[in-house]
Amino acid sequence: MAAKAKINTARDLFYFSDDIMRITGFSQSKSYKIIKQMNKELEAQGKLTFEGRVSKRYFNERLGLDVDTRQKSRA
């Protein structure tokens, strides 16, 4: 029997302001500013972005974090 493929959700692919707050220790307003800035950078590269969230891969790359974004979802 073939194993079912895992479907990635928004929480698997993107960081939201509460995630940025937890990672950086910044306030919610500063976290939104970071998301907005990174999304501007991605748009300049021709990437599609979504308000209020930023790609985990891009965020981790920009901050130099060595994090596997495919980690198991939170319980």
pLDDT digits 0-9 by tens, 11-70: 999 999 999 999 999 999 999 999 999 999 999 999 999 999 999 999 999 999 876 644
For residue 47, tell me if it sits in a domain: yes
**Cα(53)–Cα(30) distance, integer angstroms:** 13
For residue 5, tell me if it sits in a domain: no
For residue 71, tell me if it sits in a domain: no
For residue 4, tell me if it sits in a domain: no
For residue 54, tell me if it sits in a domain: yes
Task: Report the Cα 23 to chain-centroid distance in Å.
Answer: 11
Q: How many CB atoms lie within 10 A of CB 36?
A: 13
Count of domains forming the chain: 1
Domain housing 56 = 10-63
In terms of Cα–Cα distance, which of 70, 63, 66 is closest to 26? Answer: 63
Amino acid found at 35: I
Q: Name which residue leads in pLDDT, 46 or 74.
A: 46
For residue 74, tell me if it sits in a domain: no
Q: What is the pTM of this model?
A: 0.77
CA angle 41, 55, 66 (to 5 degrees): 100
